[in-house]
Amino acid sequence: MVELRNITKDMMTVVEGSYAVAHATKVCKPNVISAYPITPQTHIVEELSQFIADGEIENCDYINVESEFSALSTLVGSSATGARTYSSTTSQGLALMHEVLFNASGMRLPIVVTVVNRALSAPINIWNDQQDSVSERDSGWIQLYAEDVQEAADMVAQAYKVGEDPDVMLPVMVCMDGFLLSHVYEPVVLLEEDLIDDYLLPFDPKYKLDPKDPKTFGAFAPPASYTEFRYAQEQAMSAALDKIEKAADDFYDVFGRYYGGLIDEYKTDDADIIIMAKGSIIGTIRDVIDNLRENGVKVGLLKVRALRPFPKDAIKEVVKDSSVVITLDKNISPGVNEGALCTETKACMYNSDINVPVIGYMIGLGGRDIPEDTIENIVDEAKEVINSGISTESQFTDLREDLI
């Protein structure tokens, strides 16, 4: 199934992306919200504070804190008692949560955090790329990436559905590009309050902190048992692969909107060239593909929704008959000269009978705009790879030679 949206215009309203996400969060009935404001996440938590002040979210506390470290620590304690919890952050704020991220995933607490993706300092930069969340890919959190405002909002509900599944019990980052999605006004269907109970069950974990039945979370695990905790986490990630697909299918059944499960495809059936990417760049890529298809270029899109768990089998299935794969990454691992999709896509094909060349591009770093021309030029370079093989495996896009 490819993207399907049964939407009529009378269902939609034009709002800012941050509002749509805050509204969706409200509809999911969290019990505890804790966050620290930081650009470009600020509007989300402002809207949520307003909802709380107006008494629009029942049984919910908004706990003010002095840092992101405390915000997530607050949610760790809250979630362990069986509360549904939410936060949102970005960039340096997510980096400050780093230590607590591992506590949340290790204690198997299905906290949901909207990461409004932004570059990391230094040099200081408030604009969008995805270095912040990609840098946390080993933290044991499920990571989902949204293409537009509608998906970013609906994904909050899907995140609770997946994270709180008894076979998963993992925290989830819903990643949306800063400014590009958080500050855009566009038509959306605000998540339907009257349908949510058909989709999301109340959170009722098997184990919770309760004075009447005392337990300890995240206590001591010596060498004799620590490995098995890590193994269980990996098993949960593995279970999440199917659960993410099911959460997307169930969402379609209840709300009539589908954005793909682990991945989505666009015009890949006969594609020689497949562009892989995640986040708000997907919309621009769809337009580029439509233009190039008119000129006979067989190009398609593989949209990655889940970076963790990484959908190796789904990706291999899509790319196996293509001639070249382009990965577009708004992040880099310095010293590898590659972004995450490039490295991981190559890795998942090794030891298989698929041997498709992969070329990687670091793009849109620190908010640099991505015009259609830039992607068209990359597709031209991919055509050269089909004809004469790889000359440059991975590179920066639109480098300004005058500054180097």
Partner 1 sequence: MKEIRVHGRGGQGSVTAAELLAIAAFSDGKFSQAFPSFGVERRGAPVQAFTRIGDKPIRLRSQIYEPDYVIVQDPTLIDIVDVAHGMDENGIVIINSDFNPEDFNLDTDAKIMTVDATKIALDVIGRPIVNTILLGAFAGATDEINPESIKEAVKERFPGKIGDKNAEAVQKAYDMIREGNK
Select from 353, 362, 56, 349 the least CA-distant residue to 190. Answer: 56
User: Taking CB under 8 A as the rule, which mask of x and - marks residues 286-305 in contact with partner 1?
Assistant: xx------------------
Which of positions 100-139 make contact with partner 1 (CB under 8 A)?
126-128
Measure the CA–CA gap between 280 and 13, rounded to whole angstroms.
Answer: 20
Determine if 264 is a binding residue for partner 1 (CB under 8 A): no
Measure the CA–CA gap between 195 and 215, rounded to whole angstroms.
Answer: 35
CB of 16 to partner 1, least distance (A): 8
The residues, any chain, with a CB within 8 Å of residue 76's CB and separated by 6 or more, are 100, 103, 104, 107, 109, 111
Q: Record the tokens describing residue 403, joined without a space.
A: 């500054």
Which of positions 31-60 make contact with partner 1 (CB under 8 A)?
none
| Number of other CB atoms surrounding residue 283 within 10 Å | 13
Nearer to partner 1, 100 or 188 (CB): 188
CB of 70 to partner 1, least distance (A): 27
Burial class (CB in 10 A: 0-12, 13-18, 19+), 201: exposed
Determine if 19 is a binding residue for partner 1 (CB under 8 A): no
Measure the CA–CA gap between 37 and 62, rounded to whole angstroms.
Answer: 13
User: Taking CB under 8 A as the rule, which mask of x and - marks residues 149-188 in contact with partner 1?
Assistant: ------------------------------xx--xxxxx-
∠ CA 135-140-142, nearest 5°, is: 85
Q: Tell me which residue has tokens 């506590």.
A: 103
Find residue 395's DSSP bridge partners. 361
Nearer to partner 1, 118 or 161 (CB): 118
Nearer to partner 1, 80 or 119 (CB): 119
CA-based end-to-end distance of the chain: 45
Nearer to partner 1, 137 or 286 (CB): 286
The residues, any chain, with a CB within 8 Å of residue 54's CB and separated by 6 or more, are none
Determine if 145 is a binding residue for partner 1 (CB under 8 A): no
Residue type, 344: E
CB of 302 to partner 1, least distance (A): 16
Nearer to partner 1, 197 or 380 (CB): 380
Which of positions 350-379 make contact with partner 1 (CB under 8 A)?
367, 369-372
**Which residues of this protein are in contact with partner 1, per CB under 8 A?**
9, 12, 14, 16, 126-128, 148, 179-180, 183-187, 280-281, 283-284, 286-287, 367, 369-372
